[in-house]
Structure 1
């Protein structure tokens, strides 16, 4: 997801407090303490664009569908549904015992309000495109039609009818994603953007309710007694702490004051793995460098391809990241479904990522750069690389050396915090940056739709008419053979253009206390702690 982007900044005061407490605090076996990152940009289901934001939100909100302990999409607020013979109309039948955390019933109109809010151009959600399968959504977001024409309506309090533009094979997966969750119109209209900042106003309908929100410190959640399926929930309390200090996280994992933490220091991963404190989980995501294709020096695809070809992806995953990542031979990562089999395996590598082929890549890159008018880097400016702090700096330092050694191109690193980085990239105030994109559902469309020309999260401004046409074709039919053929062709076009530079396909090394059990790890990154417990 995005950009599902990793938020990294230095919160030294929090780290000091956490470290001081770690020696004396006694953690109750009933409390699960997790460090996913630092303060999220937002936990509004309509606006969140971060993986760990999804994790917070999905513990408080539930959509028409949800995921079970096996990550299978199952009934959520909707206890059943009917699908028309043409695959375009879904009729959802809502549970009469689904309640908001304040005891009010969840009704169909709550979904209507939420979905209209998501596509409203006045709201300007980054994730509005996710609703494009719903009839008229794209025209509404573009300002060509009123929000009331969105293909969703409440037949009665417990019946929701949804009309799609075309049959959408992954639609039930979409309805499990936070942007499709219901929202309370009365709460949001009364409190505005601040509704997410207080337990009194952050009213959800999921298995947990926010009990404390301490900005830049933590979010504390407790089991909701009003959740319709509360009897299945094991962990009575989850504390999500915000900290950015690898040493403090390791100490917390070891002494039991922290049970799970993201992003262990890369240099410590081998040792921590030997100690049994690292679990490497699959993650359907691509780490990449967005390129501002509107920049006068980067608008030439030959330059972009040259910059990509001299990156030794094998060196990066083996010597820098060290977390079992795979060199990216295309845009779509492994474990994404094709008509049959795996999309990436079927497509193969769209450029040579073998160790044996690296010298040929260098020669081709030099040729392309010369053809673009910059022989041996002559006349090419210093590339400013923008990133947030942390492990990303070390990765780019390796790339920086490769660009200099093989292309004679200099580069500099500008570090800014993640919230500002996201805004900077959206505004195209950059040359090259760093991001990752993770799939929101098990279909290549979740990865491919990022680079259509009108997507607000297409940070680099990549635009190719044929690419747009192919993605439109894939989105407008239920025929999997047609859909997948279109997306395979689109991926080849994107890589030929090098609309962005894929670096590697993710894994997710997690610091985990050995006593922590029952976490539902999701290859989309949407981990659930509903059933977590601490082994005695």
Structure 2
């Protein structure tokens, strides 16, 4: 609900593109070391009071307060002085370089240029907060009687654990929503939730776990089931530092041989979508081309790498932690690769603590199960943070001068389009080299009534984007 109750300074889109929200405009200063953001005229809280730049500055400093311990406060660390204050190395927030120059201008100074910083501003940890209510009401500031917010909706009732009701915020100056009231039920009973949908009492029902499996097994419900990508991926990291995994053709062969649709249907209990690329479309803005396994292409690549029909290919291990899902994946991968390529990949199951230690220092491994969910919607959080050679964040031991060069070009790009183009080139190298093998995109699943003409979620938070929801007459 945070996405509906609060509006951020900007909204983040694919390829690092940001669009105005509360901030009508901004200037990038001092070579990317500072930003000046101008709030739109007439921005207000839901009680009609003016929303000011200081509401953002105070909120950010509060979220950095070590005594508050706000989740995701590390996303604020690029701000000069932020990390020192959050970690208790500075006694006060005076050194945190964010300030309201006037009522509508917010100035931020960073410790160093940080690509993707603007996209971070869409995250809830950067939302404005109502200082008077927080200081006056303490933990009760989120009570509907006290809560001041600046989003499209205002909270009018909250029965904790049961549900909430929100009404349209008449003081909201952004894109209007197509309804006056939203009722959200937190019903825990699976049958009750599905019954509410069947009866038409609920327009949309999010389903996961047993509910999701029940919806997939029911013909009528399956017809109304829609999956939405959640800016996260499951993939297999290959040890590119040793043979045969050092050969890109081997890695690509194993990827081409997979029937991802069958894997998704056979392995996963939770909502996922077949992944045809390592980076989700919500980040790159481009859908990878789906298709059946290319067995001919896979066999040709493997033969070209010196292993025709799998001959001479050394036995390999797939490492994962103890879990029904990952065990099913291990068995399905082993079967598909043996049938398609004639190679042997055996399961290597570890207890959770052992697996965590393994991912920090995997040693002489072959393949292991990995995943990533974006923290903020910008390519830097995928391409730079995961795959830059000098970081080797996933211990893939993959080195690509071409890929790293495109990252440098992206950092130096003077325009949004030039930056996006550099990341597209980096993506092409990543997919061609395949240091990891994509399996599935994380997803959210909803049952939607036929009268819901359009429905959209925020891929990072998973919250429903009410501005993208349309009801047919």
Where does residue 386 of structure 2 map in the other structure?
A: 451
Where does residue 99 of structure 1 map in the other structure?
A: 45
1:358 equivalent in alignment to 2:298? yes
The alpha carbon displacement at 1:239 in A equals 0.8
Where does residue 52 of structure 1 map in the other structure?
A: none
Alignment of 1:35-434 (within 5 A): 56-65=1-10, 75-78=20-23, 80-81=24-25, 83=27, 89-93=35-39, 95=41, 98-99=44-45, 105-116=50-61, 123=69, 126=72, 128-129=74-75, 132=78, 148=94, 151-163=97-109, 174-184=120-130, 204-206=149-151, 207-209=153-155, 211-212=157-158, 214=160, 217-223=161-167, 227-229=171-173, 232-233=176-177, 234-241=179-186, 243=188, 250-260=194-204, 261-263=206-208, 265=212, 269=216, 272=219, 276-279=223-226, 283=229, 285=231, 287-289=233-235, 291=237, 300=242, 302-303=244-245, 309-310=253-254, 315-318=259-262, 320-321=264-265, 325=273, 327-328=275-276, 330-334=277-281, 354-360=294-300, 375-377=314-316, 380=317, 383-385=319-321, 397-402=331-336, 407-411=343-347, 432-433=368-369
Contact persistence 1:167–1:476 (CA under 8 A):
no
Q: Distance in 2 between matches of 1:325 and 1:359?
A: 26
The alpha carbon displacement at 1:62 in A equals 1.2
The alpha carbon displacement at 1:317 in A equals 1.5
Larger radius of gyration: 2
Contact persistence 1:65–1:76 (CA under 8 A):
yes
What secondary structure does 1:204 align onto?
Answer: coil
Contact persistence 2:319–2:368 (CA under 8 A):
yes
Contact persistence 1:67–1:73 (CA under 8 A):
yes
Structure 1 residues 481 and 512: CA distance shift in structure 2, 3 A: closer
Contact persistence 1:284–1:439 (CA under 8 A):
no
Structure 1 residues 110 and 455: CA distance shift in structure 2, 3 A: farther
Contact persistence 1:316–1:398 (CA under 8 A):
no
The alpha carbon displacement at 1:313 in A equals 6.7
What secondary structure does 1:356 align onto?
Answer: helix
Residue among 414, 417, 423 paired with 1:478 = 414
The alpha carbon displacement at 1:155 in A equals 1.0
Stretches of structure 1 that go unaligned for 5 or more consecutive residues are 1-55
Q: Distance in 1 between matches of 2:86 and 2:253?
A: 37
The alpha carbon displacement at 1:331 in A equals 2.4
Q: Deviations over 1:403-433 (max 9, x none)?
A: 67654333267899xxx9xx96999599944
Q: How many residues align?
A: 443
Q: Distance in 1 between matches of 2:165 and 2:426?
A: 43
Alignment of 1:493-512 (within 5 A): 500-504=436-440, 510-512=446-448
Q: Deviations over 1:17-73 (max 9, x none)?
A: xxxxxxxxxxxxxxxxxxxxxxxxxxxxxxxxxxxxxxx2211211224599xxx97
The alpha carbon displacement at 1:451 in A equals 1.1
| Aligned-pair Cα RMSD in Å | 5.8
Q: Distance in 1 between matches of 2:398 and 2:140?
A: 39
Q: Distance in 1 between matches of 2:472 and 2:259?
A: 39
Contact persistence 1:326–1:504 (CA under 8 A):
yes
Q: Deviations over 1:346-392 (max 9, x none)?
A: xx99xx96343233456679959x99x99224xx5x733356x77x7
Structure 1 residues 203 and 140: CA distance shift in structure 2, 3 A: same
The alpha carbon displacement at 1:191 in A equals 8.7
TM, length-normalised to structure 2: 0.65
TM, length-normalised to structure 1: 0.59
Structure 1 residues 176 and 314: CA distance shift in structure 2, 3 A: same
Q: Distance in 2 between matches of 1:511 and 1:459?
A: 37
The alpha carbon displacement at 1:396 in A equals 5.5
The alpha carbon displacement at 1:153 in A equals 1.6
